[in-house]
Structure 1
């Protein structure tokens, strides 16, 4: 129940996915009053809570003072926070610990690569990709799915395999024009490759969830709620764009990404831009 509340943006019912840092901190420290001994997962939740809110140094100090040896979930929470807030030194430290514990985890390598890319450290991105290749690791392909009239449609970034791809991309172009007219501009940090501005814009506009939404718009009556499932975390740019799409199209759009449910409506998201 608590997980369901947190993943759907019900802030007063859950803490770590809503930025209620002090509430979560107090809950953790009052456990002993009820004779509950904090376990590894409780410490991981606190690191996640602090890290997502940007208290990275506080999270690291909390880890250093733990009465037990920090494991994968602890360092993983810190690495995720470093990715969100683009903290390179602490991200490298967390990744180093993770690589020693689980040297063949694709996700941890990709997260560190994303941290380097956000900082425009392309030489380190290249070295990490070489390391991944040597280990036989490959990044998971992002995809999004949408069910229309009982039929599931799955799209990848830039996907032109659908029979209606011309209509879909015409709708994407129309959406981009309307978004720009409404004042939307791309967040180039969402592209984790060394591209020029034109390539960056095209790449971001063709992310799988945007394609799925465009297909949903041309396949359903006005006002119909669209429900999208994405296997990876939604990028900052697409999150901002979908908020505006929900407003200009007067639609509710629900996107289930790797972290939570995002309920977009009237230009807002249930997560409060905290995910």
Structure 2
């Protein structure tokens, strides 16, 4: 290019490497990204995702160790949904919400219904070197799934379910929202830190790239 690439350009390239499992280009993009934004933990997380998608678990562990030992700290994922002028927040494995028991039960029922439609979860998006059934359990109660389920319980059927997220939505939750929009017939909007995702009838507005 006739000009220097920006952090967002390197970040987009790095995210694309996860889709195409291109580790070599991902490492180049990550080095450039980290040089421009040394305090952004997202580049190490994205690089870990690339390693995990390629089954390179030793490299995943090295990236996570570097993240933990550096001053750069990964922000915890959090979601918000507004119900009747009240903002409700959720984190993965949330237990403090007063409706938590009902939310978990409804989500379990929904996942069982979705599995009948072929949804099995995308375990490659979990960064732990464990068996697939363990990964499914770890992915099961991600915060956007909890927020969506609460919206499903509380909002009228014709009202879109709108969720705000402080990080980029993971691939498994993205697939979950697509299938959930088809199974429940609900319109879902997720605003993550990168873009709006508008889910309707099993399709997302992002065209599978985010």
Give TM-score, length-normalised by structure 1: 0.70
The correspondence for 2:173, drawn from 221, 225, 238, is 238
Alignment of 1:15-34 (within 5 A): none
Tell me if structure 1 keeps the 8 A contact 2:81–2:151. yes
1:203 aligns with 2:138: yes
8 Å Cα contact 1:223/1:250 also seen in 2: no
Instruction: Give 1 or 2 for the bigger CA radius of gyration.
Output: 1
Larger relative helix fraction: 1
The match for 1:170 is: 105
C-alpha spacing 1:77/1:253, structure 2 compared with 1 (3 Å)? closer
Residues 258 and 193 of structure 1: is their aligned pair in 2 closer, same or farther, counting only changes over 3 Å?
Answer: same
Matched positions, count: 210
Shift of 1:186: 1.4
Q: Distance in 1 between matches of 2:114 and 2:8?
A: 39
Q: How does 1:1-275 map to 2 (within 5 A)?
A: 66-275=1-210
SS at match of 2:164: strand
- Give how far 1:69 is off: 4.3
The alpha-carbon deviation at position 195 of structure 1 amounts to 2.5
- If the length of structure 2 is used for normalisation, what is the TM-score? 0.90
Question: Residues 186 and 77 of structure 1: is their aligned pair in 2 closer, same or farther, counting only changes over 3 Å?
Answer: closer
CA shift at 1:159, angstroms?
A: 0.9
Query: Is the alpha carbon distance of 1:100 and 1:273 closer, same or farther for their aligned partners in structure 2, counting shifts above 3 Å?
Result: closer
